[in-house]
Structure 1
Amino acid sequence: MMPLRKSLVLLSAAALAVSGCVSAVAPPDISPRPEERVEAPQQSPESLALARYYQGIEVRLTQDGLLRTDSGQRDAPFSAAMLAANFERIALYDEYALIGGRFVQQQTPARLRRWEQPVRIQPHFGRLVDPAQQAEDRAILTTYATRLARATGHPVSTVRTGGNFHVLYLGRDDLREVGDLVRSLVPGIGAEVVAEIENLPRSTFCSVYAFSEAGGRSVYVAAIAIIRDEHPSLLRRSCVHEEVAQGLGLPNDSPAARPSIFNDDEEFALLTRHDELLLQMLYDPRLSPGLRPEEARPTLRQIAQELVGGSS
């Protein structure tokens, strides 16, 4: 059985009682200060084993022709009707539901959600993330943010401080102790979310949690993405592409979506042209936060027809 490459948990307004001031929180750096680095921390045997495991997964997937980095346009054409249907399933359904304090995989109709304030993506690194790796991660994230801003027409950028979309690059050893950090990043975060993050199973490659205001509209005010430091380069980049894009308002996956990263078949590793169009649709001003699938459907068909043409 193929392990789950991505896992999205999307929390509704009822899960968080905060205001827009979440973005103003100055989160602590989980890396020790230079004067505190008396002895370099060592990677645990469990973390080393995870690194070997994920390296093997990446090798196997690429050997099978998966984790593609091309656009897919050569062999995976799609029509306006397909694009509209894929958008509805990916943007207007949730992949997980909170049941009895646990997140259970369950397809559930949902309202359209997205950001209204500018998205400020801030990376955070665990104690064992190599400085050269941190520089590479920052560069990849910055380039990707520029691409997302172009696709959505919405302000998306990376920042060093004052972020509202936090991307945490953590190994297994840091994940166990990340509770204080995530509570500082998102005051009011539920205990079940903290527990989920601290105890991610090996089969969950990465995850994202997006939050809206309690009792408010379907508008995101904060997000946290978890990227495992044990991942080799392509899986690491793939996690960044999917989790950050999902945290903008595309919470679900669909087996029918192709060419797309919003599909658990692992065929594509990086955002495709199809996925850029989904993001463009998500932030089209003709759609508004809170729309249900049946309410959005006529407009979705119109927008997809304009973007792709052909049969609707």
Structure 2
Amino acid sequence: MMRPFLACIAVVLAGCGAMVPSQPEQRIDLSLQTRAISSAALFGSPRAFAPERSNAQIAQDILELGFRLESGREIPQFSRFQGPVTVSLHGPVPPLGVVETDRLLERLQREAGLDVRRVQGQGDIIVEFVPRDVLRRAVPNAACFVLPNVTSWDAFRANPRAPELDWTRVARRERALVIVPADSTVQDMRDCLHEEIAQALGPLNDLFRIGETVWNDDNFQTILTGFDMLVLRVWNDPALQPGMTRAQVADRLPALLARHNPQGARTTGALDPIPTPMAWTRAVEAALGATSRRASFREAQRALAIALEQRWQDERLAFSLFLSARFAPSEDGAQALDAMILAARIYDTRPGTAVHRAHVHLHLSAQALASGQHDLVLRLTQSAMTVAQRTENGALLASLMLLRAQSLEQLGQATEAEALRRDSVPFALYGFGSAQAAENRQAEIAALARRN
């Protein structure tokens, strides 16, 4: 329901000794938001991974996504829009705002079967673009979010605690306001449009234990996945009606999932343990939001201890290990590397986590580059680049390409390295937001090689 504001995950695994200064926030060059670097131009036709979870697991997921808020509060009834849904854009719409919205709506029509379209004037879902500094002053921890029963940012700010803004009181959705930063990177803007419009149309919760969804605050998935499209298709099926209880929805889900996802009946396995203790969630959020690496590492270790105590073997344990490795002090390099490798192994066993493994391979590639293992860099980046391209993650793809180019150069393949760097430029502009930010990333990666 609220996409958190998280600093971009560093390109290096600092705990393994490949320490690079964190990149300062860059001023976004909105002139770069042209059709030449739109999602469609960069990535072509969408190719979302199909859902991999069993229908029994997805039924459990839908109930937890749909009947609880991120705060832990229960939602007493099923809620959604009825009939066709319109979307309108307001405020200082950035150059690619319309292009990215239309591409998203076309996907929702085709992949989720939704009757949703963009209109002029006021839509059922109102997307308002707000300057980032204005947004952060009002809601410091959110990059974007969605609210019911309000039509503008000004109306929300005039009465931010109005009772009608409480999602637990909503059954039939009549109006939703999506707030998106007006001056972010193209990738960040698109990510916000995907998650918040999808939540306006579907379930409202975010769950760390589900890897194959954008409704997960680890932010590895950045665009709507096959799992998300299936959930939206089921959520908007006529068999479900606003005002239904959790039990009533639960009774109908097996038949709905059998009809919409027949392959899910062939997938078996134990259901994920729930719920997630709030202490673990708070530790993860504190690790991501802390102002010092020492504090982040302390909170990551606290999250890892809780994950081990819960005996999880899913994304929550893997993410705890990932954060512990990412924030580990340099003297704990060996343990950090072991933690990152174990996180990769857990992600290998979990459905829909190819992009998670790609992020782990990014960090392992940085460590391999810093230690002169250039053949390993080439192996790790090859498969990760394919996943980054398919999941339309420009920032991840550009970083992987730059790591690979640096190793090619170190191996004497200067022509191939320079060509790869040139090819990375549009992805870097899309993901990082400015030519300077992209150059800084390239300089950081070159510094890794010089350490060796």
TM-score per shorter chain, which class?
A: 0.5 to 0.7
Q: Percent identity?
A: 24
Residue 141 (1) aligns with residue 101 (2): yes
Deviation larger for 204-213 or 250-259: 204-213
Q: CA deviation at 1:85?
A: 1.2
Q: CA deviation at 1:280?
A: 0.6
CA contact (8 A) 1:51 1:232 kept: no
Task: Give the residue type in structure 1 aligned to 2:142.
Answer: T
Q: Of 56, 60, 73, which residue of structure 2 is paired with 1:85?
A: 60
Q: Of 121, 126, 138, which residue of structure 2 is paired with 1:161?
A: 121
Task: Give the residue type in structure 1 aligned to 2:143.
Answer: F
The equivalent residue for 2:149 is 211
CA contact (8 A) 2:66 2:75 kept: no
The equivalent residue for 2:90 is 124
Q: CA deviation at 1:71?
A: 3.2
What is the distance in 2 between the residues matched to 1:247 and 1:92? 14
Q: CA deviation at 1:256?
A: 2.4
What is the distance in 1 between the residues matched to 2:86 and 2:65? 23
- Equivalences for 1:35-54 in 2 at 5 Å? none
> Could you report, residue by residue, the CA deviation over 1:243-279 in whole angstroms, capped at 9, with x for unpaired residues?
0000013111112223100111111000000000000
The equivalent residue for 2:266 is 310
Residue 268 to residue 172, structure 1, CA distance change in 2 (3 Å): closer
The equivalent residue for 1:232 is 185
Q: Helix, strand or coil: the match of 2:72?
A: strand
Q: CA deviation at 1:70?
A: 6.5
Residue 269 to residue 224, structure 1, CA distance change in 2 (3 Å): same
What is the distance in 1 between the residues matched to 2:73 and 2:111? 27
Q: TM-score, normalised to structure 1's length?
A: 0.61
Residue 199 (1) aligns with residue 138 (2): yes
Structure 2: gaps (5+ residues): 7-23, 29-45, 151-162, 269-452
What is the distance in 2 between the residues matched to 1:52 and 1:77? 39
The equivalent residue for 2:400 is none
CA contact (8 A) 1:92 1:292 kept: no
Residue 198 to residue 222, structure 1, CA distance change in 2 (3 Å): farther
CA contact (8 A) 1:89 1:253 kept: no
Q: CA deviation at 1:198?
A: 7.0
Which one has a larger percent strand, Structure 1 or Structure 2?
1
CA contact (8 A) 2:214 2:221 kept: yes
Q: Which has the higher contact order (CA 8 A, sep 6+)?
A: 1
CA contact (8 A) 2:90 2:127 kept: yes
**Greater radius of gyration (CA):** 2
- Equivalences for 1:267-286 in 2 at 5 Å? 267-286=220-239
CA contact (8 A) 2:53 2:267 kept: no
Q: How many residues align?
A: 213
Task: Give the residue type in structure 2 aligned to 1:122.
Answer: S
Structure 1: gaps (5+ residues): 7-48, 54-68, 96-104, 176-196
> Could you report, residue by residue, the CA deviation over 1:6-26 in whole angstroms, capped at 9, with x for unpaired residues?
9xxxxxxxxxxxxxxxxxxxx
- Equivalences for 1:47-126 in 2 at 5 Å? 71-73=48-50, 77-95=52-70, 105-126=71-92
CA contact (8 A) 2:48 2:225 kept: yes
Residue 238 to residue 172, structure 1, CA distance change in 2 (3 Å): closer
Task: Give the residue type in structure 2 aligned to 1:89.
Answer: E
CA contact (8 A) 2:128 2:180 kept: yes
Q: Helix, strand or coil: the match of 1:220?
A: coil
Deviation larger for 288-297 or 145-154: 145-154
Task: Give the residue type in structure 2 aligned to 1:310.
Answer: R
Task: Give the residue type in structure 1 aligned to 2:79.
Answer: R
What is the distance in 1 between the residues matched to 2:100 and 2:137? 25
What is the distance in 2 between the residues matched to 1:237 and 1:172? 15
Task: Give the residue type in structure 2 aligned to 1:149.
Answer: Q
What is the distance in 2 between the residues matched to 1:309 and 1:85? 14
What is the distance in 2 between the residues matched to 1:77 and 1:154? 22
CA contact (8 A) 2:114 2:233 kept: no
The equivalent residue for 1:4 is 4
What is the distance in 2 between the residues matched to 1:50 and 1:292? 45
What is the distance in 2 between the residues matched to 1:121 and 1:110? 27
